[in-house]
Structure 1
Amino acid sequence: MSDQNLVLLSQSGDNEAFAQLVRKYSPDAYRTAFMVLRDRNEVEDVVQESFLTCYRKIKSFRMESSFKTWLYRIVVNRCYDRLRKRNREIDALNKMSLNLRNVSDDINGIESRLDLREVIQGLRPEHRLVLTLYYGMDFGVQKVADMLGVPVGTVKSRLNSARNMIRKNLTANPL
């Protein structure tokens, strides 16, 4: 059954239709969230929260985009909310202990030399996310821009920056 039909059925109260959407898109939502957050527990929470949001708001979904795009937008927004929360917590810890930052930087520096995956993990979340959606999920630049709610030029710029950072890191620290 098509996503559009599943959405229409979900909007009319068919919980099994929504469950099919969840089963279909859970792995991709999980993978996307993991590329941003890198913490399995937080990723599971974000994916569950995202589907719960979809369930609560399915009746207001106007199908101006695909369900997948709408879901990814929710997942990405939830991830960014988590990152902001995490950053606030880190800032509070840094105020209590300046040494925490130095230890974290040392660990990140060592890990980034391990392999390409580690290099990618060292990128800023917005760069990892664009790489994942573009290369990992095979979305075009326009689709990535729609999902993230940013201009196409921003997606192209982030892709280019991410490639350059990876190239620079690999040149400085060959695998």
Structure 2
Amino acid sequence: MKEYGQSILWLAYSYVKDKNLAEEITQDVFIICYKKMETFREESSIKTWIYRITTNRCKDVMKSKSYKYKKMTQSLFDHFVSKDDTPEDFLIRKTDEKELSLAVLTLPLKYREIIFLFYFENLKVEDISRLLSVKPNTVKTRLHRGRELIKQMYERGVGDGR
């Protein structure tokens, strides 16, 4: 939990966009991992195995009747703020991070999950491929298209009041 807890929370949040629900999913994931540790076959890294359980749990929650898609209540990047910043630096970085996080979170799920795993979790294309059970070329294509969608959002001025 110490090693992967925050990453799992972020991954869950990128799916459900609700902090409390993401925390519940994170707890569920570690309970599942504890109960199923003997089924881990070491065909992949433990990190990939835990991420796979997390994505499956998130998808299950999103399919459930009780799940309601909620608005983002907190920036994905809150913990990146440096205490050495001037108030101006803080405001500029907060605005940029919020715009980027909103852009990523508005992507369709198939692009959002790839962008998140590649950039925020630093997973390799091969690991993402195994995690999501898709071909490596599919990962590369979705990564490219996700980047293009974000670029188009910025070109249209999404998030800057235009």
TM-score by length of 2: 0.74
* Distance in 1 separating the partners of 2:47 and 2:134: 17
Aligned residues: 132
**Helix, strand or coil for the counterpart of 1:24?**
coil
Which aligned pairs between 1:110-125 and structure 2 lie closer than 5 A? Answer: 115-125=99-109
1:114-147, CA deviations, whole angstroms, 9 ceiling, x for partnerless residues? Answer: 7222111111222111111101111111111111
1:44 aligns with 2:44: no
Contact 2:125/2:136 (8 A) holds in 1? yes
1:13-70, CA deviations, whole angstroms, 9 ceiling, x for partnerless residues? Answer: xxxxxxxxx2211111111111121101110111111111111111121111111110
Contact 2:13/2:19 (8 A) holds in 1? yes
Q: Which runs of 5+ in 2 are unaligned?
A: 72-97
1:56 aligns with 2:35: yes
Rg larger in 1 or in 2? Answer: 1
1:60-95, CA deviations, whole angstroms, 9 ceiling, x for partnerless residues? Answer: 211111111100000011111122226x866xxxxx
Query: Corresponding residue for 2:123?
Result: 139
Q: Which runs of 5+ in 1 are unaligned?
A: 1-21, 91-103, 105-113
Contact 2:25/2:57 (8 A) holds in 1? yes
Whichever residue aligns with residue 164 of structure 1, its letter is E
* Distance in 2 separating the partners of 1:116 and 1:64: 34
**Helix, strand or coil for the counterpart of 2:123?**
coil
Identity among equivalent pairs (%):
31
* Distance in 2 separating the partners of 1:159 and 1:56: 33
Which aligned pairs between 1:125-164 and structure 2 lie closer than 5 A? Answer: 125-164=109-148
Query: Corresponding residue for 2:58?
Result: 79
1:129-173, CA deviations, whole angstroms, 9 ceiling, x for partnerless residues? Answer: 111110111111111111112111221121111111111111112
TM-score by length of 1: 0.69
Runs of 4+ with >2 A deviation:
none
Contact 1:36/1:126 (8 A) holds in 2? no
Evaluate the alpha carbon distance shift between residue 125 and residue 47 of structure 1 in structure 2; reply closer, same or farther with a 3 A threshold: same
